[in-house]
Amino acid sequence: VNCIQYYEFDRSSEVDESFLRLKDLINNEKLFNEQIIHNINNETLIGLALSKHMEYALNNNLEAAFPEIRSLFINHESIYNDSRKIENYIELTGDENLLLDCCEAFENHKFWSIIRIMFGMKLFPEYCKETSIDYLETGEDSHRLDALNVLFELNEPIAIDYLIDFLEKKIILSLISVKYLNYSSIIDFKHLEKLFKLIFDDEDFDDFESSRYREFVMNYVSNISNSKEGFDNVMVMLDKRKKDFEENAKDLFYINMLIDKCTNSYINSNSKPYKFKDALIESEKLIA
């Protein structure tokens, strides 16, 4: 059992068949588990050996190793694939504050990995929001996209304000990793008109990124149009822009597409599904 901490620790996977095969060779689960706990609590484990031990301890609920595992999450800098293990640990222990403690200890990429775990598990949304806003206010750019993505995923209205601010400063962020499909928050509809001008009227906008931003706008106005207030405000703006385009002989392709998309969104949001019997009655009325 003393070789467990060294056994094929250079392999590229987690608790793989070879690691479990060693357990079968030892043929004593109690002894194997005790050694895993001992190694985590007392030995200096290297690379994937540490990761495999932690994964095994969590998968087999070896609670005697949990305090040290918690400490390793916070203090160890090179735990492989730790996000999944942290989620597993929290599900087993209910120790949600581990995430806050990790945020206190981590910086840069690992910090934002913890933030992603937080909103992925729907934990500490206010902390995620405030942290993201605080970061964006610094003007730093290393994790600007991480912070903006948090605000979009939390459906915070300030997300669109930051996006507009970046566009006005000619800072074109790639939206490929931003999860905006459910984003529908809006307070000031004048911001929407400003967004349209920045994305659709800027002839110098990079063609590749322009297509992504236009896709974002189409999705955004469609989501906003689910409500009557949203639909009415969006249509006022689109009708005005369409009239301006017609007067200046501009291409109406995107305007017409947006009008159709918003109209369909509003109709669908107000549609109620019929039960088969009710649908049959209504169809017979139409035929009669």
pLDDT tens track for 33-67: 999 999 999 998 877 788 889 989 999 999 999 99
Question: Hey, CA dihedral for 246, 249, 253, 254, is it positive or negative?
Answer: negative
Confidence of residue 285 (pLDDT cuts 50, 70, 90): low
The structure tokens listed for 281 are 């009655």
Rounded to 5 degrees, what are φ and ψ at 49? Answer: -60, -45
Q: Angle of helix 228-247 relative to helix 207-224, nearest 10 degrees?
A: 140
Give per-residue pLDDT as tens, 227-268: 999 999 999 999 998 998 888 888 888 889 999 999 999 998
CB 205 within 8 A of CB 199: yes
pTM of the entire structure? Answer: 0.82
pLDDT mean over 76-83: 68
Tokens of 266: 């509003």
Query: pLDDT tens digits for 187-214?
Result: 889 888 899 989 988 877 877 888 899 9
97-152 pLDDT tens trace: 999 999 988 888 889 999 999 988 999 999 999 999 999 999 999 999 999 999 99
Owner of token pair 């903006």: 148
Say what the pLDDT of residue 17 is. 61
Measured CA angle at 267 (ends 261, 271), to 5 deg:
140
Amino acid at 181: L
Regarding predicted confidence, which is higher, 12 or 30? 30
Provide the pLDDT for residue 123: 95
Cα(184)–Cα(252) distance, rounded to whole angstroms? 25
Q: How far apart are CA 266 and CA 103, in angstroms?
A: 41
User: How many CA within 13 A on the CB side of residue 180?
Assistant: 26
What does the alpha-carbon distance between residue 231 and residue 225 come to, in Å, rounded to a whole number? Answer: 4
Cα distances (Å, whole numbers) of residue 4 to 1, 23, 34, 61: 6, 9, 11, 18
- Please answer whether residues 190 and 234 qualify as being in contact, where contact means their C-beta atoms are separated by less than 8 angstroms: no
Rg of the chain's alpha carbons, rounded to an integer?
Answer: 27
pLDDT (tens digit, 9 = 90+) per residue, 266-277? 998 877 665 666
